[in-house]
Structure 1
Amino acid sequence: MATSTLHNEKELLMLASQGDEAAFTQLFYAYHNKLGSYISQLTRSHETAEEIVQEVFIKIWTNRVSLATVEHFSSYLFVLSRNHAFNCLRQIAREEIRKRKAEENIKKWYEDENPLKTEEDYFPILDEAVEKLPAQQQTAYILSRRKRLKYEEVARQMHISRETVKKYLQLANRFIISYVRSHGDMLMLLVLVIISALK
C-alpha cells in the first residue's frame, strides 16, 4: 500500500465518514508507516509510536463523521498524532517522577525504621519472591525495579510492547505481595503495597 497522499483521498474520507471500513483501511495503510516513523522520532520508541498510531486511528474512527469536513487529512492526522504523542510523553514523565519520588521516600522511611539493617538484611523475602516469578515477569521486574529502567527501555530490551511490560509488572507485584504476606513480613508488605499502587 502506498505511503503517499492518495489521489482519491477526499472520496475515501467521505466513505469512511459514512462507516465504510474498507475506505478507512486504505487511509490507515496509506499513512501508517510514514506516521509511525514521525512519531518514533518524537518518542524515541518504536513500540510507543506503534501504540500511538493505533490509538490515533481508533480515535479518528470513533469520530469518523467529522472526516467529511476534513480538507487536508495529512495535516489533520499529523497534528493529531503529534499532540497525542506529547500528551503520552508528559504522562510517562509524570509517572516516572512520581515513581522515583515514592521509592526514594519509602526507602528513606524504611532505613529510618531499620537504621542498623542493610538492604540485603531486609529484602531477603523479596529476593525469594522474585526468584519464583516466571522468567518474563522476573526479567521485567529486575529491569524496572532493580536497574530502574523506564518502561520503554524495558520494552526495547525484551522486544515487547510497553503495555506488555506494565502487565508483567502488575502480575509480578501481585505475586510478590502475596508471597511476602504469606511469610508474615508486614512492614515489607506495606512498602510493596504502597509502591505497587503508584505504578
Structure 2
Amino acid sequence: MMNGQDDLLLISLIKQGDNRALDCLFRKYYYSLCRFATYLNNRKDLAEEVVADVFFKIWEKRESLTVEKNVRSYLFTATRHTCINYMKQEKYVMEELNDDMIEETPGPDDELMYHELETRITDLINYLPQKRKAIFQLNRFEGFTYNEIAEILSLSAKTVENQMGKAIKQLKLLQKTYQI
C-alpha cells in the first residue's frame, strides 16, 4: 500500500511528464473519488465524468501543479470543486431550457434510492454530538458560512471550523464502519 510520500513522488513524476505515474495515481484513487462525487451529486455517470476531468486537468496543468503535502486531500478537494462546477453548469443549462421541454420525472426506483440514501445520511448525522450536528447541518444543508454560523450560535469562527472538521472526520469513520 502506498503512503503519502509515494503519492508525492507520483506527483513529482507527473510534473515531469510520466503518464504511468498519472495512471498509477488514477488507479489508486479512482473508485473512492467516484464514490465521493456520486455522494455529492447523486449521479454515477456524472461522477465518473467528474473524476476523469480531475485527472485530465492534472495532466493538462502538470507543469504548474503544486501539491505540497497531502495528495489525497488535494484530489478530493479538486473533485468537490469540479462537482460544484458541473452542477452550476447543469443548473444554468436547465434554467435556460423551456419548462415545457422538461418532462422527465423521477421514477419509483429513483425515489426509493434517494430516500434510502437520505435515511442513511440522516442516521449518520444523528450520531454527531448535538452542537456539532447543528453546525454541520447549518453549513451543509442550509448553506451558511462558518462566520454566519458562529454568529448564529454565538461561537468563534475557529470553533465552527474545528467542529466541522471533527464532524467530517466522524462521519467518514461512521461511513466506513457502516459501509455506506
| Bin for the TM-score computed over the shorter chain | 0.5 to 0.7
Quote the offset at 1:100 in angstroms: 2.9
**Which residue does the alignment assign to 2:84?**
86
Q: Distance in 2 between matches of 1:36 and 1:16?
A: 21
Q: Distance in 2 between matches of 1:100 and 1:32?
A: 36
Say which SS state the counterpart of residue 149 (structure 1) adopts.
coil
Could you tell me whether the CA contact under 8 Å between 1:14 and 1:67 is conserved in 2? Answer: no
**Which residue does the alignment assign to 1:48?**
46
Quote the offset at 1:67 in angstroms: 3.8
Q: Distance in 1 between matches of 2:67 and 2:5?
A: 17
**Which residue does the alignment assign to 2:104?**
149
Could you tell me whether the CA contact under 8 Å between 2:67 and 2:74 is conserved in 1? Answer: no
One-letter identity of the residue aligned with 2:31 = N
Classify 1:69/1:53 alpha carbon distance in 2 versus 1 (closer, same or farther; 3 Å): closer
Bigger Rg, which one:
1
Q: Distance in 2 between matches of 1:72 and 1:84?
A: 18
Count how many residue pairs are aligned between Structure 1 and Structure 2: 109
TM-score, normalising length from structure 1?
A: 0.48
Identity of aligned residues (%): 28
Q: Distance in 1 between matches of 2:4 and 2:27?
A: 11
Q: Distance in 1 between matches of 2:67 and 2:40?
A: 28
**Which residue does the alignment assign to 2:56?**
58
One-letter identity of the residue aligned with 2:70 = H
Q: What whole-Å deviation, never above 9, does each CA across 1:71-108 have from its counterpart, x for those lacking one?
A: 2111111111111101111111121122134x4xxxxx
Q: Distance in 1 between matches of 2:57 and 2:74?
A: 13
One-letter identity of the residue aligned with 1:8 = D
Q: Distance in 1 between matches of 2:5 and 2:28?
A: 11
Q: Distance in 2 between matches of 1:100 and 1:42?
A: 26
Q: Report 1 or 2 for greater relative contact order, CA contacts < 8 Å, sequence distance ≥ 6.
A: 1
Which consecutive unaligned segments of at least 5 residues does structure 2 have?
111-180
Classify 1:79/1:87 alpha carbon distance in 2 versus 1 (closer, same or farther; 3 Å): same
Quote the offset at 1:149 in angstroms: 2.0
